[in-house]
A and B are shown apart, each in its own frame.
Chain A
Amino acid sequence: MSFLAFSFIVVSLLSFVVAQLILKRAMESTTTRGFRNLRFVSLVSGGIALMTISFFLTLGLLQRFDLSYLYPFQGLSVIFITLMAAIMLKEKLNLRLTIGALLISAGIVLVSLS
């Protein structure tokens, strides 16, 4: 796989993960301030925009690779979430998360070699 394709996979997954977190923030903001406020509208628009970017990049990738080849890369998204938590929440990674992340990474390496 080319470097370009790999970067598009990473950008597509990252924008999907970030979109999910933004949409979660948006929904949380409605419990105190309702739906008619600028914060909610801008968060929802941002989240949907990122999801759209992720969707179209996937359509571009699917024209070039097997689904069985691209799909396992989704495992990277949980690694991104874990890393974000480590950075933003200063979470320590426990053994279970570390082993899981290593297995996922090894699996993705095997798939990308296939």
Chain B
Amino acid sequence: MQNRPRGFGNPWLQLALSVLCVFVSELLLKRGVTDVAEPHNAFSWTGINGLASPLVWWAILLIIASFISWLYVLRYIPLAIAFPLSRVVDILVPLGCWIFLGELISTLRWCGIALVVIGLALVAKPVAQIEERL
């Protein structure tokens, strides 16, 4: 982590931007495909009809941006540190569903989400170390 760039190139800033891009892209994808959804058409399982929504295209741009900043982050911060931190997105997405998408989340679902988040927090570091060797 020596010679860490400052300003926009700061890897911690880039990590935050990467997480933000993933978070916003998930919400945009959901909003976008909901606009053009055809749940009774079997072909829509392929998801290709989702491309008709401009929001889906914005989401794709954000996914690419998050991917580029993530690769940049990994040049400066070890995966075993960056990966657990990036899991903040697992808390942000359900909150975003509740606040921005207006999804009705039952107590049972909140409990399930909480268990997944705790489990991920527990395994994120060892899993990142395993992934480096796979």
Which residues of A are in contact with B by a Cβ distance under 8 Å?
4, 8, 20-21, 24, 55-64, 66-69, 71-72, 74-75, 78, 81-82, 84-85, 88-89, 91, 94, 96-97, 99-114
Contact = CB atoms under 8 A, between A and B. Distances in A.
Interface string B93-134: 110011001010110110111111111101110110011011
A74 B94 CA distance: 12
24 contacts: A20-B131, A59-B50, A60-B45, A60-B47, A66-B97, A66-B101, A68-B101, A75-B90, A75-B119, A81-B127, A85-B133, A88-B134, A89-B130, A91-B130, A96-B122, A97-B126, A99-B119, A104-B119, A104-B123, A107-B111, A107-B114, A107-B115, A108-B112, A114-B112
Contacts, number: 164
B19 interface: no
Nearest to A27: B71
B127 A97 contact: yes
A105 B116 CA distance: 7
B: interface residue count bin: 35 or more
Contacts of B113: 68, 72, 107, 111
Given A71-B97, A74-B90, 20 more contacts: A20-B131, A57-B45, A59-B33, A60-B44, A63-B50, A66-B97, A68-B97, A68-B98, A69-B109, A71-B94, A72-B113, A75-B90, A82-B127, A96-B126, A97-B123, A99-B119, A103-B118, A107-B119, A108-B112, A110-B109
